Structure 1
Amino acid sequence: MSKINNLIRVSEEQAKVAGKVLARAFHDYPTMNYLFPYEDEKSRKLPKIFEYLVRYGIMYGEVFSNSPNIEGVAVWLPFWEAEMTDDKVFKCAISYSDGRELGSILGEEYQKRYEPIEKCEYRCHKQYADFSHWYLYPIGVDPIHQGRGYAGLLLREKFAEIDKQNMPCYLETNTEKKVSLYQHFGFEIVEEGIIPEIDVPYWAMLRKKD
């Protein structure tokens, strides 16, 4: 089991479990409530979304947890792998549990609803981090383990490495509560607003290199 500092690198065999942890962490997230207005659909599909993101992170970046029990998960993508091109998505689909691309799993209605979110994220990412950086996408802690410092551990240990690389880091969040956490670790707000068409807030944040 590969480690960095005090973190555990999540393996493909752990991707489903890690995806479920993130799904529980983001269950009441504003964008997820918009994408899945019906509770039964959200409960079924969120684990699929986050398992897919974990597998993408394993394939094209780094995915860490705080312990083998996977109380929390952080997916880190180097800037050159952050854009999910059709080719990358196809390759990731091969490693997925049922071998299908995420769009076909979630359906056309999801893709239609996700479009304004995707456009906003892409524009902000391109505008404020069009240079070498790490992309934090996403980080979450299982609700039953929140408040124990796991998110801080996941950030602090990885930042120790990122700072040695003298690399900036970029992220987006849709909850004001998370903004103060990220600011504590050196992120600055570069843009905030409401995602057009869907009335969901967003904050684009950048942690600059030294």
Structure 2
Amino acid sequence: MGVVIRAAGEDDRELVVRLLDEAFQDDPVSGWVFPEREYRRTTHHRLMAAFTDIVLAEGRIDVTEDGTACALWLSMPAADGDGPDGGGGGDEADDAVRLRESVDPANARVEEIARLMAESHPADRAHEYLWMIGVAPARQGEGLGSALVQHVLDRCDREGLPAYLEASSERSTKLYERLGFTYADRTLDIPDGPRMWPMWREPVTGRDRS
């Protein structure tokens, strides 16, 4: 039986925050942002809630019908050239500050990770951005994450859109490679912290499938 997927709404907010909080408690990047385990346990959900609110307002969240996995997507336009690197650099900096102030005001790493990810984001082409994907720990390894990602990649292929993500572990890059993503030949190295792997996927056309 296939995985049933639906679009999340405002009523699903707490479900999505809980899924992300549970799924990313032991993630290397979350561990860098909140190094002390007990503090992470009590504070990490605020960051996941902020991310959820952003994507509910500006993007799309898909959830499995049984509520055990979710994926957060943003549709990214091509840059208009306003920022120093072709994007809205000032807006991104302000967004990072606001994120820190709303999540954990004394924690500079909340702002720093937001800045680093914004600065590394490709800006020359419109694309779908897989910001986060979370699977309940007890259901990991069952293919739910792959089904969620493929659900949007099928649309990308129909519409001729590329897709982008940052993998937070070498292990997860293998999953994304199976879905057609390729390593972008550069890592995002967090100062005194873990490494992330930007990955890009070109749309698959009818000719490519043959």
- What TM-score results when the alignment is normalised by the length of structure 2? 0.81
**Counterpart among 128, 137, 147 of residue 143 in structure 1:** 137
- Equivalenced residues, count: 190
Tell me, which stretches of 5 or more residues in structure 2 are unaligned?
80-87, 205-210
| More displaced stretch, 148-157 vs 175-184 | 148-157
Which letter does structure 2 place at the counterpart of 1:60?
A: E
Q: Show the counterpart of 2:76.
A: 79
Tell whether 2:40 aligns with 1:39: no
Letter of the 1:114 counterpart: V
Q: Distance in 2 between matches of 1:18 and 1:191?
A: 32
CA distance in 1, matches of 2:60, 2:105: 29
Change (3 A) 1:40 1:52: same
Q: Give the letter for the 1:154 counterpart.
A: L
Code of the aligned partner of 1:32: S
1:118 is aligned, of 93, 114, 121, to 114
Percent of pairs with identical residues: 23
Q: What is the deviation of 1:118?
A: 3.0
Residue ranges of structure 1 left out of the alignment (5+ in a row): 90-100
**In the alignment, what sits opposite 2:46?**
48
1:117–1:195 contact (8 Å) kept in structure 2: no
**CA offsets 1:167-204 (integer angstroms, 9 cap, x no match):** 00011122111000000000000034362522311101
1:136-175 superposed matches below 5 A: 136-175=130-169
TM-score, normalization by structure 1: 0.81
Letter matched to residue 113 of structure 2: I
1:29 equivalenced with 2:34 (yes/no):
no
On the 8 A contact 1:192/1:201 being kept in 2, the answer is: no
Cα distance in structure 1, aligned partners of 2:45 and 2:116: 23
Q: CA RMSD in A?
A: 2.6
**8 Å contact from structure 2 (residues 100, 111) kept in 1:** no
Counterpart CA distance in 2 for 1:106 and 1:51 is: 9
- In structure 2, the residue matched to 1:199 is 193
